[in-house]
Structures are given as C-alpha cells and as structure tokens.
Amino acid sequence: MKPVPLLQLTGLRVEYSRPGGQKVRAVRDVDLVIAEGETLGLVGESGCGKSSLGRAVLRAIEPQAGRIDFLGLDITHLKGAPLRRVWADLQMIFQDPFGSLNPRRKVVDIIAEPVVRARGATRQEAEERAGELLEKVGLGRDAGQRRPREFSGGQRQRIAIARALAPSPRFVVADEPVSALDVSIQAQVVNLLADLTETSNLTCLFISHDLGVVRQLADRVAVMYLGQIIEIAERDRFFAGPAHPYSSALLASVPRVTAVAEPKAAQLQGDPPDPADPPAGCLFSTRCPAATELCRTEQPVLRELGPGHDVRCHFPLEPLEHA
C-alpha cells in the first residue's frame, strides 16, 4: 500500500484584494505532495508567493480554492478547536527571530507555553522539555532564565527553533529562517536545522530565496514563479542542471552554487510581472530568452521530465547530468 503523504496540496489558490478591488493571485492552483521526513526547499524571487503558500499550508490564511490534506485529514476550512489541535503538529519558524519572541517573557516560558497549550502537558513536564530543547539547540538550560533581548540574532533564532519543536510537531514551515542573520551565523543555524530535521524525522517546508542555503538542507527543490511551481526535482538532480530556463538563471545568479557550470543559463533581466496582471501563455515568457510564439500564447503544464522531476516549460533545457 502507498504511504499517506504527510502533506498534500491540490489546486491550492491564494488571492488578495488590493485597495480598489484589484485581485492579486499569489498562489496559482498549486499541486504538491510532501512525504514524511523530507525537507522540501521552496525557492523563487521576492513576491513569487512562497510565504503565501507557507501561510496557507499552516492555515494562517484561508485559501480561495483547492484543498490541503495533512496526515490524511482535509484541513482546508478547519476552524476553532480542531484547527488548534492540528497546529500542535504544524509549526512555523519565522524570518525575524526577535519580532516573533515575546520580549517580556523568560525563554523557558516561551518554549514551555506551546507544550502546555498544544499537548496538555503539566507545567513541570513542559519546563523539562524546554530545558532539553535548549540543550539540543546549543544554548544550555540556563538560557531559560534569561529574556530574548539578552541574546544575539542567531541565538534568538535558536530559541525560536526550540519553541517550534517544543510540541513535537510532525511538520515545520521555516520561512526564510536565516535571511535576517549575519552570513557567518547563517551556516550554524542551517546546520542546526539540518541536524534536527535528520534526527527527529521532522518534515519541513523550507522557504528561501537563497539557493545556496537550500542546497545544504533540502531533499527536493521546488521553484516558484508568479504563484506557480515551475520546476520540482530531487536536490542533486536539480543542482546538476535544472530544466526550466528560470531555474537555470536563478542558479546562475548564485556564484557559490554554480560549481557545475550551466552554459545555457541566461542572466535574469528585469523584475517579474505584476501578479495582478500576468502575461498570457507561459508566465515566464516576458523574461525568457528562449520564448517563442507558442510560449507567449499557450500556458505549459507541469509535466514529468524524469523520475521525480517535473517542469512547466514547452522547451525544457537538457539536464547536464542525470542523478
């Protein structure tokens, strides 16, 4: 029997209304399956809809269409107590570790609180769990008696990670968790996250605009453009040579991860179109150096290029190497 996917998105759509009533479709009918224990890296330029997708998955916002199945349960329109029960298994790590931590509370209380609230633990059990987690994230139990402002940015993000893991969730959405940190600290926090996801069999949606970071953590990579997933592949296959011209250009713009040269990669020119006024045909056609008349008129579907490798392009690039 096929295992139940931990998370399944079917035709997920998120729309916002701008003042004046104009509709912005931030997530366009996304289908996605995340298996238990995997880390999926979701990448793309600013504004492509990564956070909107992450927030919809967490049910911090309600999607306009589509369906979210988590652990086999349809959570798309869940509200109140049933949604709060699901949140015990669905946690979030935010970009800004200071803004997301209550400055007036002691660290031990910040971490213990979700264990009491979500799991019904006693105060003593929750504090014990907080102590364990503070050790696990490398801060030590004594850190629990201090307040967030006494810690550096990287340390605060370790506290935020400990808080997210405190109720022993099955799934974590990490939305740009290291991009507010100094580059020298980023690697430490990424290594910690890689270690924790590995040792706790945690499933993770890791949102980042930084392909270098995604390469260190993700088992699979999904690339978003203007609300659509335009390519998804196993990490090694992706980094050996992505098939979508947009992914290729994105990869070429990150010097650190282009050890494998991508000769066909074009430079990304200009900004993405306004999602309220998307182009006809392929959404990338206005910036794609290889766009033809077909690309400008007919929207490509996401189709399988090889095992576990899907691409939404009429003329995908030849992979340099097959994993």
Ligand X SMILES: Nc1ncnc2c1ncn2[C@@H]1O[C@H](COP(=O)(O)OP(=O)(O)OP(=O)(O)O)[C@@H](O)[C@H]1O
Instruction: Name the site residues for ligand X (rule: CB under 6 A).
Output: 16, 18, 24, 26, 44, 46-52, 209, 275
- Nearest-approach distance from CB 78 to ligand X, in angstroms: 21
> Nearest distance from residue 275's CB to ligand X, in Å?
5
Residue 223 CB burial class (10 angstroms; 0-12, 13-18, ≥19)? buried
Q: Would you say 89 or 96 has its CB closer to ligand X?
A: 96
The least CB distance from residue 47 to ligand X, in Å, is 4
Asked whether the beta carbons of 63 and 12 are under 8 A apart, the reply is yes
Structure-block tokens of residue 230? 């335009």
Residue number, 88 or 254, with CB nearest to ligand X? 254
- Our CB check for ligand X shows the closer of 177 and 241 to be 177
Identity of the residue, 54 or 242, whose beta carbon is nearer to ligand X in the bound complex: 54
Which whole-number Å values give the CA distances from 214 to 46, 162, 204, in the listed order?
A: 15, 21, 12
319: Cβ contacts below 8 Å, ≥ 6 apart: 237, 240, 241, 242, 243, 305, 306
Q: Give the nearer residue to ligand X in terms of CB position, either 130 or 223.
A: 223
70 forms beta bridges with 7, 73
Residue type at 270? G
Residues near 180 by beta carbon (within 8 Å), at least 6 away in sequence: 95, 96, 97, 153, 157
CB nearer to ligand X: give 133 or 223. Answer: 223
Please, which residues bridge with residue 174 across strands?
93, 206
Contact (CB, 8 A) for 52 and 107: no
Nearest distance from C-beta of residue 50 to ligand X, angstroms: 4
- Shortest CB 56 distance to ligand X, Å: 9
Q: How far is the CB of 52 from ligand X (least distance, A)?
A: 3
User: What gap in Å lies between CA 171 and CA 169, rounded to an integer?
Assistant: 6
